[in-house]
Structures are given as C-alpha cells and as structure tokens.
A and B are shown apart, each in its own frame.
Chain A
Amino acid sequence: MVGEKKWVPYILLIPWIIGFLLFKLYPFISSFVMSLYERRGRTSTFVGLKNFQLIFDQSTYLGSEFINSLKVTFTYVFVTVPLILIVSLLIAYVLALKIKGVGFFRTSFYMPTVLGANVAIIVLWRYIFEYNGLINQGLKLLGFAPISFLGTAAGAMTSIVLLRVWQFGSTMLIFLNALKNVPETLYEAATIDGASKFRQFFSVTIPMITPIILFNGVMRLVETFQVFNGPVLITNGGPERSTNVINKLIYDIAFLGGDLNVGTAMSWVLFVIIMMFTILIFRSSRYWVHYQD
C-alpha cells in the first residue's frame, strides 16, 4: 500500500508484544528456572534436577502421587478425547443431512457446553450421579442395577468423563462447518459408483475432513490433559486417588501445600508430555491427513 508508514503495525502490535513477553515468555522461562530450585524458608537453592527425580521416585509419597496422577490423567484423556470426537462427528454428520429445525438442535447441543463448565452445574452433576440420582434412576427404569458412581474408581472416572463428553458442542460446530464444505459432487460421484451412505461416510466424508479431525483432536488433547474442575468439584480426586488428575495434584502441591518449585517441575513434565503427543500427532498426520491443495 502506498504511503503506509512502516512503524504503524509495530505500534499496534505493542500490546501483543508486551503480553507475549510478560505473560508467556517470562512465566515459561521462570517456571523452568523455578523447577531447578528448592525453597527452604526464605532462601532458594539450586538443586538441579532433584525435583524431577523426586516426583518420579515411586518410593516416596510425592512420587507415588505423581505417578498415580499421570496414570489417571492418561486414562481420562484417552477415553475422553476419542469419545468427544466420535460423538461430535456423528451428531454433526446427522445435522448436516438437511434436518428440519437445525437451528434448534444446534442450540440444544451447544447448551451443555455453555452450562456444563459452570461450577453451579458441576456441583449438581454430583447429585445427578449420586446413588439415588438421575442416572441410577434411569438405569433402574431400564432394568439395570444401580451403580455406585462416586464410590468406585471406575464409576468416578465415568462421571467426570461424561461431564466432559456432554460438552461436545464446540467440537461439533467445527465439524459441522467442515462437513458443509465437502463438495456435493464427491457424494454424487460416489452414489453413481454405487457406494452406500455408510461406505460414503468412511470413503468420502472422513478423508475430506481429516485436517479438521487433526485440529479438533489436538485442541481437545491439550485441553483435557489440564482437566481440573470435574475432579475437584465432583470427586475431589477420589475415591482413593482414582481421579486425582495431574492438574489437581499440582494445585494441591503448589497452591495448597505452598511448594511452588515441585509444582513447576510437575507442570513441566505435563508440558513435555503434551508437546510430545502434539508432535507425534502432527508427524503422523502426513499418513492420514489429506490436504486438498
């Protein structure tokens, strides 16, 4: 553009630059430095990787808690993320089939996403999963025996997984948009070739939206690895630490226990794990993601 002053973009970027330096880069470096120190009273001493050794030492209390939280978090993530992707893709697929009242359904499916993350509703979720709560009454009606959701490890995990899967709205909307962009001609060609709807879904729909599956998958992965509200408010990490996810443990150690240094070490382990999975998914994407152009 003619006559554009060169400094204008930089001036307008100043807020972002400050934000990046102060709220991202500084805490990023600082948390790593903090994880190498130990604090006793008012003095911090450099201890190298001692904090990391500590949290991976299963013979100590801290270590066993940390290893346990890793296992719990992995279970949560690898059950929740595929479920969210499958449910939201299925619903989005049906919604994309020219449904009457699509606006109503879209709003309905988005409602739990707005409300489900709210503390007031999460607290009530606990009542819904109580022994005499809604879910067990429903199971009874269908002739099943009631389940002690909050009293058993598997039940507690189920309740926090379902709370998250219930909020599939955002993922669904992204899929819905992607499905609308699949060219109609591809389906027509497939129909002429005699492919059934079922076959079309797997041979046309899925390959065409693999970039969006990748996007949704990575976003949900990063998010669910940091789950906090459900395990704190519904199960309080229990029973017997079975839902004591890593973010809750970090909260307990750093903010309740006051050991910020061990907390940062744990955060870094979480960060490295998330990065590893993200890189792994992106690396693998060349085998299963199809880009149109």
Chain B
Amino acid sequence: MQANQRISSYRMKKKTTEVIKYIIIIVAAFVMLYPLLWIVGASFNRGANESFFFWPHDFTLVGWKESLQAPGWGSAQGYSLLRALWNTMQYVIPHVLLGTFSTLITAYVITRMHFKGKKLVFALIIGTLLMPNTIFRIPMYAFWTTPAISSIWEGNKIPFMGYLPLWLGSTFAVNSFSIFMFIQFFRTIPRDLDEAAYMDGANKMQVLWYVLMPVLKPIVITVALLLFIASFNDYQGPLIYITNAEFFPLSRVLPMLGLDSTNTYAHVYARSIVSVLILIIVFFAAQRYFVGNDADTAIKG
C-alpha cells in the first residue's frame, strides 16, 4: 500500500518535471524566435505594426514588391542592394576560403608535427585569442591608409581587391579562434589513422587531404560557417575602411535606408529580410554538419 503510494507519487513527480522542462524550453524558444516572426509579419503591414501580434492588420505587398522589383534588386536612394551584396561578398569569399585553409594548416602543424618552439607558438595563439581586436585596429588602419599602400586597394575595381585590408589577414591565419577550434578537433582524432597512412608511404599533405579530411569535414564546415557569419555581419570593419559609396557593403547601405516619404515600414522590413536571406540559407545548409558548437570539445584536456 505504502509502496504503491510512493511509486505513484514518484511517477507524479517525474511527470511534473517532464512537463516543466517542456514548458521552459517552449517558452524560451517562443521568446527567442517571436521577434523574428514579428519582423516577417511587419514586412507585410502598411505602416508601423503597433500590435504585439505578428499578423498584419493592414495587409500589403508593396514592401516586398518594391524591394524585389526595383532595378538592381531594390535600388533605393541611389544604392543598389545587389551591388551591396556583391560588395559584401568581396569581403566574405576570400575571408572564408583563405581563413579556413590557413588556420587548418596551422592547426595541423601544431597538433601533428614535431618541431622546436611548438609550445611558444601554441601559447602565442592562446594569448592572441584573448587579446581585444581594438588594440590592433588603429595601427593597421594607419598602415593601410598611408598613400603608397592605399593606392593598391582603395577603389580598386579588380574583384576582392577593394576589400584587401579586411581579408588579407585571413591569408595568414590571424583568426586564433579558428586555429583553436581545429586544434581541439585534431586532438580527438586517433593518431593510428595517420600512422597507418605513413606505413603505406603517404606524406604529410597526403595524410591531411586523403586520410584526415573526411574526418575533419564537420569542423571545416563549422569554422567556415563561423567565418562566414563573422564577415557577413561585420559592421565596424567596412565602416572604417570602405569610404567610397560604390563599394559599400550591405552593412553600410542598410542603416542608411531608413524610413522616408517613399520607404514605409514594410519596405524597411522586407529589405532587411531579403538581405539576411543568404545568411539564413547558408546557415541551414551548413547546420547539419555543424559540430554542435563553437569550440566543440572546448578545452577538454
């Protein structure tokens, strides 16, 4: 009798915790996502959406129509959004490709090769990981804007060259966090894999490309995705370096396209959604490979 009661009270308790955890998670997900849903709703609404509920009370397609139809895809106030997107890509593409490659190689050398000074290199990477970017920014700006140097890149119409100051560093593995993530991942791969390939006469690079690459795929995609997000969303970098309006990326153009006589809330919301679509698409395409987190096995060991 008593035992039965205890069991049923235990079951009740278990059920309650079960319910509570779902309530917490659903409420939290709602709070997190509702602003985004509300933004989508507001893009279909004439005037400001002065309601908590996301569905439009004065439905209109004008924002979306004019954002998509205008020449150059939403050319507004003299700025073509298509051009701005291309400008953003002039930063993003080299940053992602070079950044992923150079940090992968660096992490590979540190985790899989023997050389003198390895400890120092590792310490410097961790040290720079914690250093604020602010400290590097002004001298680099002074360097890039000296007349002799700025003539190389400023206003340069060769693709990607106009954004040289923003991505050149990634050629040289300056992103310590990416190196750190690769190092953590390399440490989880058993060395037997490499050893077996060496027995068969493979060299270092062959081992990396043919043996380790399949295993590394998730971390490569994760690092690339994080570099993509960081450069696509970077506001301060282009704000400092890109002064020529023709080269303005999305992050410079969008804040300037606020409300005015021809741009209603619907326009602003629709344009903003269109401009982050690529980000959303890339995120969903990559996320199934996503290692699950930033620093997957963060500081294990």
Nearest chain A residue, comparing its CB with the CB of B258:
A123
Given contacts A19-B169, A111-B32, A176-B292, contact A197 B272 (CB under 8 A): no
B68 at the interface (CB under 8 A from A): no
For chain A, give the interface size range.
Answer: 35 or more
Contact A15 B171 (CB under 8 A): yes
Contact B121 A115 (CB under 8 A): no
Given contacts A15-B171, A120-B275, contact A181 B300 (CB under 8 A): yes
B137 at the interface (CB under 8 A from A): yes
- Chain A to chain B contacts (Cβ below 8 Å), 12 pairs: A1-B198, A8-B113, A22-B172, A24-B136, A112-B33, A121-B272, A173-B293, A177-B297, A233-B235, A255-B141, A267-B135, A270-B135
Return the CB mask of A1-34 against B: 1 if under 8 Å, else 0: 1001010111011011011101110111011001
Interface residues of A in 189-220 (CB under 8 A from B): 197, 211-212, 215, 218
Return the CB mask of B234-260 against A: 1 if under 8 Å, else 0: 011001100000000011001100100
Contacts of A222 in B (CB 8 A): 130-132
A263 at the interface (CB under 8 A from B): yes
Task: Pick the contact of B132: A114, A120, A226 (CB < 8 A).
Answer: A226
Contact A15 B32 (CB under 8 A): no
B216 at the interface (CB under 8 A from A): no
Nearest first, the 5 closest Cβ-Cβ pairs linking A and B are A19-B172, A173-B293, A120-B272, A30-B139, A137-B52
A141 at the interface (CB under 8 A from B): yes
Contact A229 B293 (CB under 8 A): no
A89 at the interface (CB under 8 A from B): no
B294 at the interface (CB under 8 A from A): yes
Contacts of B35 in A (CB 8 A): 112, 125, 128, 134, 166
Contact A215 B29 (CB under 8 A): no
How many whole Å from B42's CB to the nearest CB in chain A? 8
A55 at the interface (CB under 8 A from B): no
A118 at the interface (CB under 8 A from B): yes
Contact B299 A260 (CB under 8 A): no
Contact A15 B279 (CB under 8 A): no
B157 at the interface (CB under 8 A from A): no
Bound-complex Cα distance A112 to B173 (A): 28
A132 at the interface (CB under 8 A from B): yes
A254 at the interface (CB under 8 A from B): yes
Given contacts A27-B135, A118-B232, A215-B298, contact A20 B33 (CB under 8 A): no
Bound-complex Cα distance A87 to B45 (A): 33
Nearest chain B residue, comparing its CB with the CB of A212:
B298
Q: How many residues of B contact A (CB 8 A)?
A: 87
B229 at the interface (CB under 8 A from A): yes
Contact B114 A4 (CB under 8 A): yes
Return the CB mask of A99-128 against B: 1 if under 8 Å, else 0: 100000111111110110111111111011
How many whole Å from A5's CB to the nearest CB in chain B? 9
Bound-complex Cα distance A23 to B176 (A): 12
Please report B residues at the A interface, Cβ cutoff 8 Å: 17, 21-22, 24-25, 28-29, 32-36, 38-39, 42, 48-52, 102, 105-106, 108-109, 113-115, 121, 124, 128, 130-143, 169, 171-174, 179, 198, 204, 229, 232-233, 235-236, 239-240, 250-251, 254-255, 258, 265, 268-269, 271-273, 275-276, 279-280, 283, 287, 292-301
Interface SS of B by simple majority? helix
Please report A residues at the B interface, Cβ cutoff 8 Å: 1, 4, 6, 8-10, 12-13, 15-16, 18-20, 22-24, 26-28, 30-31, 34, 90-91, 94-95, 97, 99, 105-112, 114-115, 117-125, 127-128, 130, 132, 134, 137-138, 140-141, 166, 170, 173-174, 176-178, 181, 197, 211-212, 215, 218, 222, 225-226, 228-229, 232-233, 247, 250-251, 254-255, 260, 263-264, 267-268, 270-271, 274-275, 278, 293
Contact B299 A212 (CB under 8 A): yes
Given contacts A177-B296, A267-B134, contact A13 B121 (CB under 8 A): yes
Bound-complex Cα distance A4 to B131 (A): 35
Task: Pick the contact of A170: B25, B28, B293 (CB < 8 A).
Answer: B293
Task: Pick the contact of A119: B108, B115, B254, B295 (CB < 8 A).
Answer: B254
How many whole Å from B192's CB to the nearest CB in chain A? 13
Contact A114 B236 (CB under 8 A): no
How many whole Å from A76's CB to the nearest CB in chain B? 15
Contacts of B236 in A (CB 8 A): 228-229, 251
B33, B48, B109 pick with most chain A CB within 10 angstroms: B109
Contact B21 A99 (CB under 8 A): yes
Contacts of A264 in B (CB 8 A): 138-139
Contacts of B50 in A (CB 8 A): 132, 137
Given contacts A197-B17, A229-B236, contact A23 B140 (CB under 8 A): yes
Given contacts A9-B115, A128-B38, contact A15 B298 (CB under 8 A): no
Bound-complex Cα distance A254 to B136 (A): 13
Contacts of B109 in A (CB 8 A): 9, 12-13
Contacts of B21 in A (CB 8 A): 94, 97, 99
Contact A15 B172 (CB under 8 A): yes
Nearest chain A residue, comparing its CB with the CB of B38:
A134
Contact A141 B52 (CB under 8 A): yes
Nearest chain A residue, comparing its CB with the CB of B300:
A181
Contacts of A24 in B (CB 8 A): 128, 131, 136, 174
